[in-house]
Amino acid sequence: MKVDEFYELAEFLYKNPPQGIEEGAYRSAISRYYYFAFLRLRDNIVKHDTRDEIKDLLNSPQAYSAHAALQVYLQELGRISMKDHTLKSTVGVTDIGRVTFTLAQELRNLHNKRKFADYDTKEIDMTELKTHVMESKQLADIIKSKINKTITLLGMVTSLPNAEDIKKKLERKKKK
């Protein structure tokens, strides 16, 4: 599967919504921007963090788990890098850690927009919906631009996020 096609489809739907079904086209564009960002990010991480337990977690058939697990993985990677004393002397590593930490928040924001687009069936003003599409595109573009920094960080940290720690954090979030 070519993940970039999700982005291309989102762009097409955003710029050329079929007459009479504009709302559905815009909502679908938001969803496609999210899945482009999620899959591109996830695929790059599992390509570089080859541990089976991480691959299993980020490819979980339970939809909430894979999406939330990727966000927690990114938060943990950022946290680990900012605490890694061997990296503190390396120029820019703490900045990359912050980038990775904020990447988790951007992915969460885009995920929330996708859930709105897919599940909120209330009628919405088209101008407001177009704003959601534009914000989703911006978030997808930001996420895409930060992937390489995240992959660089994966190769530099002395420890990586632990699958069991991620699962515990997910369980705590579920209980809230």
Reported for 159-163, long-range contacts at CB under 8 A and 24+ positions apart, including other chains, are 159/80, 159/84, 160/49, 160/51, 160/54, 160/77, 160/80, 161/54, 161/72, 161/73, 161/76, 161/77, 161/80, 162/76, 163/51, 163/53, 163/54, 163/56, 163/57
Would you state the pLDDT for residue 93?
56
Would you state the pLDDT for residue 89?
55
Q: How far is CA 18 from the centre of its chain?
A: 28
Would you state the pLDDT for residue 175?
73
Q: At CA 96, angle to CA 144 and CA 65, rounded to 5?
A: 60
Choose among 98, 52, 66: nearest CA to 167.
66
Q: Going residue by residue through the chain (176 aa), what tens digit of pLDDT does each one get?
A: 799 999 999 999 999 999 999 999 999 999 999 999 999 999 999 999 999 999 999 998 775 589 999 999 999 888 887 776 565 555 555 566 778 888 999 999 999 999 999 999 888 899 999 999 999 999 999 999 988 888 887 777 778 888 888 888 888 877 76
Would you state the pLDDT for residue 16?
95
